């Protein structure tokens, strides 16, 4: 395997508004489902909290769309932190904040800072940014893979994106879906579900499900471009 | 009055936070800087990072602040709040791993004697023996 960093052509990534708009829409559409999943193994507020947070992002869409992509993503993360009101706020907020900051830093981003229109992120940049963001989420939530959390979807997707194999958007979606389903037999070791212990087994983790939905919404927009 | 370590109470419920603060106030009087917050930005159950930040600011001194929380989201949002405060405050604000009511009372009692932040935190955390 070559030691050269993967570059490849930039993914055909739609402008921020199209991608984030799709994410906001899917969260809103699935809010009741997420609340129901959280009723079974949590405190029944995940759907409500996520809906509140992404609605707040939606309300700022014009201002966010005017920012450089990395700043728009970072600011969206901050919006989640300040509005969600549950543990998901800092967790999904940190995910977006670190992802955005990482996309906006690094030698390639610096070199193209003044270029307009700004070049779209490459797969390699997205993979690295996702890994950094994932590490930050793990630190924030004090969790690792296998504990029945959003990390159980983020980590397989991050690994797929970072691999040296070609990957299609459909494969990323499938990976996210399979990973979310894989949380069903897990026993929760973090968050409110961990209070239930064995009783959390056999139920889909709400954070894993919302992460799956977000990834699929992003992929659908990219596929449609 | 010399400064004591401040106490912040963060609950998903503003009723719980207010009630806990009332209990603490009754136990230790006005000697300990005390603030509380509870509920999300819409007034429902949850926690607000902005409210936690303000509560910490309200009681902060160089002696530091001990934060008492209830369930998971209160802890993560409080940690987030601390990180979003000015850097010079970071090392002197801690989130205690303790039950919220008993921990707040123990922490405030310790703080009222002029104890350090570390001693205040230990007093709260001894309620969860390892």
Quote the pLDDT of residue A111.
65
Helix A46-59 to helix A16-29 angle, to the nearest 10 degrees? 150
Closest CA to B52 of B88, B14, B87: B14
Nearest-by-CA chain B residue for A44? B45
The bridge status of strand B93-95 relative to strand B65-69 is parallel
Does the CB of B48 have a partner CB in chain A at under 8 Å?
A: yes
From A45, A81, A90, residue closest to B45, measured CB to CB: A45
Distance (Å, whole) CA A135 – CA A141: 10
Show pLDDT as tens, one digit a residue, over chain A (225 residues). Answer: 333 334 444 443 458 999 999 999 999 999 999 999 999 988 889 999 999 999 999 999 999 998 999 999 999 999 999 999 999 999 999 999 999 999 998 766 666 666 666 777 889 999 999 999 999 999 999 999 999 999 999 999 999 999 999 999 999 999 999 999 999 999 998 887 787 888 889 999 999 999 999 999 999 998 876
Mutate to test the interface with A, among B50, B72, B83 (most CBs of A within 10 A): B72
User: Is B47–A83 a contact, with Cβ atoms under 8 angstroms apart?
Assistant: no
Q: For chain A, say whether B13 makes contact (Cβ under 8 Å).
A: no
| Distance separating alpha carbons of residues A131 and A4, to the nearest angstrom | 18
Query: A179 in a domain, yes or no?
Result: yes
Query: Could you tell me the end-to-end alpha-carbon distance of chain B, in angstroms, rounded to an integer?
Result: 36
Domain boundaries, chain B: 6-125
Give me the active site residues of B, please. 12
Residue A4 lies in a domain: no
Q: Following DSSP, what letter does each residue of B29-69 receive, concatenated? A: GGGS-EEEEES-TTSSSS--HHHHHHHHHHH--TT-EEEEE
Q: How far is B28 from chain A (nearest CA, A)?
A: 30
Predicted interface score ipTM higher than 0.85: yes
Q: Is the pTM of this model over 0.80?
A: yes
**Helix segments in A30-168, DSSP class H:** 31-41, 46-59, 61-65, 69-83, 88-103, 106-111, 123-141, 151-162
H/E element holding A222?
Answer: helix A206-224
- Domain CATH number, residue A48: 1.25.40.340
Residues 6+ apart with CB under 8 A from B76: A87, A89, A90, A91, A140, A141
Number of alpha carbons in the 13 Å side-chain half-sphere of residue A176:
24
Compute the nearest-CA separation of A133 from chain B (Å): 15
Reading chain B (130 residues) residue by residue, the pLDDT tens digits are 469 999 999 999 999 999 999 999 999 999 999 999 999 999 999 999 999 999 999 999 999 999 999 988 999 999 999 999 999 999 999 999 999 999 999 999 999 999 999 999 999 999 776 5
Question: What token pair was written down for B96?
Answer: 């205690």
Closest CA to A99 of A142, A132, A72, A75: A132
Provide the residue range defining the domain that includes A61.
Answer: 16-224
What fold does the segment set B6-125 form as a domain? Rossmann fold (3.40.50)
Write the CB contacts of B60 (distance below 8 Å, at least 6 apart in sequence).
B6, B33, B89, B92, B93
CB-based contact A131:A148 (threshold 8 Å): no
Q: Does A140 sit behind a cis peptide bond, omega within 30 degrees of 0 on the bond before it?
A: no
Tokens representing A123? 């797969």
First to last CA, chain A: 31
Q: Order the strands of the B65-69 sheet from edge to edge.
A: B34-38, B6-11, B65-69, B93-95
B73–chain A Cβ distance below 8 A for any pair: yes
Rg value, chain A, Cα? 17
How many domains does one find in chain A?
1
Instruction: Determine the distance in angstroms separating the CA of A58 from the nearest CA of chain B, rounded to an integer.
Output: 17
């Amino acid at each position: 395997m070559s030691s050269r960093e993967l570059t490849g052509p930039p993914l055909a990534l739609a402008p921020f508004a199209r991608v984030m708009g799709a994410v906001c829409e899917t969260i809103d559409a699935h809010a009741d489902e997420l609340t129901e999943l959280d009723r079974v193994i949590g405190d029944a507020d995940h759907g409500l909290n996520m809906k509140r947070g992404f609605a707040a992002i939606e309300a700022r869409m014009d201002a966010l769309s005017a920012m450089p992509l990395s700043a728009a993503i970072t600011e969206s993360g901050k919006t989640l932190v300040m509005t969600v009101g549950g543990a998901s706020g800092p967790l999904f907020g940190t995910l977006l904040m670190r992802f955005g900051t990482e996309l906006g830093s690094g030698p390639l981003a610096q070199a193209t800072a003044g270029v307009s229109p700004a070049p779209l992120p490459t797969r390699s940049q997205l993979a690295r940014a996702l890994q950094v963001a994932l590490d930050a989420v793990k630190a924030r939530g004090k969790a690792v893979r296998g504990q029945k959390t959003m990390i159980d979807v983020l980590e397989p997707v991050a690994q797929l994106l970072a691999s040296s194999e070609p990957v299609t958007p459909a494969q990323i979606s499938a990976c996210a879906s399979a990973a979310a389903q894989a949380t069903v037999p897990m026993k929760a070791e973090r968050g409110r579900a961990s209070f239930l212990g064995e009783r959390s087994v056999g139920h889909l983790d709400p954070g894993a499900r919302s992460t799956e939905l977000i990834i699929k919404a992003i992929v659908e927009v990219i596929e449609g471009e | 009055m010399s400064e004591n370590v401040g106490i912040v109470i963060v609950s998903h419920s503003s009723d719980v936070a207010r009630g806990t603060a009332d209990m603490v106030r009754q136990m230790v009087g006005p000697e300990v800087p005390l603030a509380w917050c509870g509920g999300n930005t819409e007034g429902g159950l949850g926690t607000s990072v902005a409210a936690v930040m303000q509560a910490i600011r309200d009681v902060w001194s160089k002696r530091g602040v001990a934060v008492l929380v209830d369930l998971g989201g209160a802890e993560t949002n409080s940690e987030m709040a601390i990180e979003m405060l000015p850097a010079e405050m970071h090392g002197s604000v801690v989130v205690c791993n303790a039950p919220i009511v008993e921990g707040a009372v123990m922490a405030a009692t310790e703080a009222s004697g002029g104890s350090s932040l570390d001693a205040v935190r230990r007093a709260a955390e001894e309620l969860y023996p390892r």
